[in-house]
Amino acid sequence: MEKSQLPLSEVQSRPKPAPRSRKAALYLIPLAAAAYFCGPSLINSVAPASVGEHNVQKAWTTKDFCAQPDPLFPSDGGSSLEQAYNYISSSAFRNATIKRLSGAVKVKSESFDDLGAIGEDKRWDVFYDFHAYLEATFPLIYKHLTVEKVNTHGLLYTWQGSDDSLKPTLLMAHQDTVPVPPETIPAWTHPPWSGEYDGTHIWGRGASDCKNQLIAVMETLETLLEAKYEPKRSIVVSFGFDEECSGRQGAGHLATFLRERYGDDGLAVIVDEGSGFEEVWGTLFAKPGTGEKGYTDVHVTIRMPGGHSSIPSDHTSIGVASELVTLIESKQYPTRLVEENPYYTQLHCGAENSPDFPKTLKKLLAKRASSSQKTCKAKPDYLALEAAKQGPGIKYLMQTSQAVDVISGGIKVNALPERVTVTVNHRINVGETPQIVWDRLTHLASGIAKKYNLTLHAFDGEEGPSSITLAASATTLQVAPVTPADARPFEVVAGTTRALYGKEVVVAPGIMTGNTDTRYYWNLTKHIFRFGPGYDPTDGAGLGAIHTVNERVSVLNHINAVKWFTLFVRNMDEVEL
């Protein structure tokens, strides 16, 4: 999906390689799966130079992988801006932000996989309530900024800068949340739509995914407006409304709208929700997501003759489906770490900055970095296998995942099932494409089809009696282009983060195993960061139980996010890109 507006069916049938970056071979997107099978080790030992408090020097001129920029502060903008920033740390702001975020959580804004057309399915109407809440809560934004609605519920705010030659900064979040299953409500410590504040956290669905980021962005703009800030670089804010069900109606339309307005590569930088902070190897890391894995769901349909269950066939369609599922799960995809994967650089950051970095991993990393040998799929990737010992959360940064998530079939206990469907979800590893999944499942299904005398329709768009059909989802996605970490936008993200949290924080490129609304924005900029900049060192909630019971966010985490966005917007305004 190299062009964000290609029809998804075209993306699925005609996967293309991501565009090359001319600046650093380390961050090339593979041109084809062959680059993963057997190819030269691509090593480009570059790292950022220091960043001063008021300017950004030429990036990445040393031989280190992970040299850290100095904390980056905006220049003195006058007493009103200084007072505005200090106000974010006050008890008055804390009380106000608790009320604002709590109120946002109270507005139920679920999105569902089976939503019908906008204007016809009444479940979309919840977003009218959320829009009304935002307008009442942030009056300066609605008074002074251009507010536009895209595809009814997509929200677009534009704060026009004074210098049209500067590409805009785009900040993103999504309005919708995953649904709360009614049967889980008794398990919540505080009701999921209560927005309860317990003295430390705000509780409820959307509190950490991602109404916290949405409200933090709005509070940043409202605070800067109140301080009479006048940006040179335009600030654009885009809020989709169906991110939790692939974003086609929200971000898909918003990205098209923005592309028509600004053109390809028309934005300076994008910051959306994403990964955050983690303490590992004795070091605190900030990990803005500079890449995302690819995606494909494969729908398996098995059709076999029905009949009365008192005279059954030896194998029903459910039994055959179970055999195929067992075969699929019997072997995982290989664990492989290509140098284009941001986690490769993250390992170097650990080796260079962390006192507790594992010695075996460091030796394997040094061997890989110094080797001119070709790496082939036929050989085990010992570096990746060693790194994967840290747990599934790390392993799946380097491996295509497969998860059998949905199965349905049969309608009556005394009737043989005539049709069974199974959906297998895959997140595609950097260096691979959805095609490897389709090829593997075709191979496995062909053996089952032959065994039971069934016709195989593998990704041909057909389905017939006595058959196995494989079909890829319309939401199939290639691996995202990797944001270069050897460029000034990354330096601004890193410098801003270290300005807020201190020099002890190591900022390293991260990779998302899931996908955000940025999947539709690839053409708009090469600099996309999927980052949750809020952090509370005393909070053990982690990601805040997103997508499950007891979702919550620390108030300190949220306040720090507001501080980060306030610094970042002003830093971007002063950087020459």
Residue 191 to residue 179: CA distance in whole angstroms: 13
Please name every residue paired with 169 in a beta bridge, in sequence order, or none if there are none: 235, 269
Q: Is 104 helix (H, G, I), strand (E, B) or coil?
A: helix
CA torsion angle 558 563 565 566 (round to 10): 140
CA torsion angle 159 4 481 501 (round to 10): 30
Q: How many CA atoms lie within 13 A of 467 on its CB side?
A: 15
125 in a labelled binding site = no
Residue 490 to residue 176: CA distance in whole angstroms: 28
E strands, 100-145, are none
Residue 131 to residue 549: CA distance in whole angstroms: 26
209 in a labelled binding site = yes
Dihedral angle sign, alpha carbons of residues 428, 432, 433, 439? negative
Structure-token pair, residue 374: 């070709």
The answer to whether residues 42 and 339 touch, using CB atoms and an 8 Å cutoff, is yes
244 in a labelled binding site = yes
B/e letters for 136-155, b = 16+ CB within 10 Å, e = fewer, are ebbeebeeebebeebbbbbb
Q: Among 531, 573, 564, which Cα is nearest to 85's?
A: 564
Is 243 among the catalytic positions?
yes
Q: Which of 196, 219, 242, 243 is catalytic?
A: 243
Residue 347 to residue 358: CA distance in whole angstroms: 10
Please name every residue paired with 477 in a beta bridge, in sequence order, or none if there are none: 295
242 in a labelled binding site = no
Dihedral angle sign, alpha carbons of residues 93, 94, 95, 101? positive
Is 183 among the catalytic positions?
no
Return binding residues for Zn(2+).
174, 209, 244, 272, 547
- What amino acid positions are annotated as catalytic residues? 176, 243
